[in-house]
Amino acid sequence: MIVASTELVAGREIVQTLGVARGNTIRARHIGTDIIAGLRNLVGGEVSEYTKLLAEAREQALDRMMADAKAMGADAIVGVRFTTSMVAQGAAEILVYGTAVRLK
């Protein structure tokens, strides 16, 4: 599956637009991670526990979007965008979406 943030795929022609493909996940922080992050916050620097949590969430959302597009019969997704929002204290949604297409 080709996934692109651009509206076109270089060297390929879009022959059919199938619709919006989307994938999301909601992740909550873990109390143990919060304690470690709080300590790390005292000395400064990257909070790698949260970096890892969000990276895993992005990958899961991407996998779900690609599965959605595949179910539509797509071989590519163009115009891919990510968004995030808080859904509860300590829990955030990662949403990824794009246009599922067939290429020539």
Please state, in angstroms and as integers, the Cα–Cα distance from residue 2 to each residue in 10, 73, 87, 90, 100, following that order: 11, 13, 30, 33, 10
Residue 28 confidence (pLDDT):
81
Residue 6 confidence (pLDDT):
97
Domains of the chain: total: 1
Residue 27 confidence (pLDDT):
86
Tokens read off for 30: 């873990």
**Higher pLDDT pick, 75 / 34:** 75
The pLDDT tens digits of the residues spanning 48-87 come to 777 888 899 999 999 999 999 999 999 999 999 999 998 8
CB 1 within 8 A of CB 84: no
pTM attached to this predicted model = 0.85
Q: Is 94 exposed, middle or buried (0-12, 13-18, 19+ CB in 10 A)?
A: buried
CATH number for 57 = 3.30.110.70
Residue 31 confidence (pLDDT):
64
Domain span at residue 57 reads: 2-103
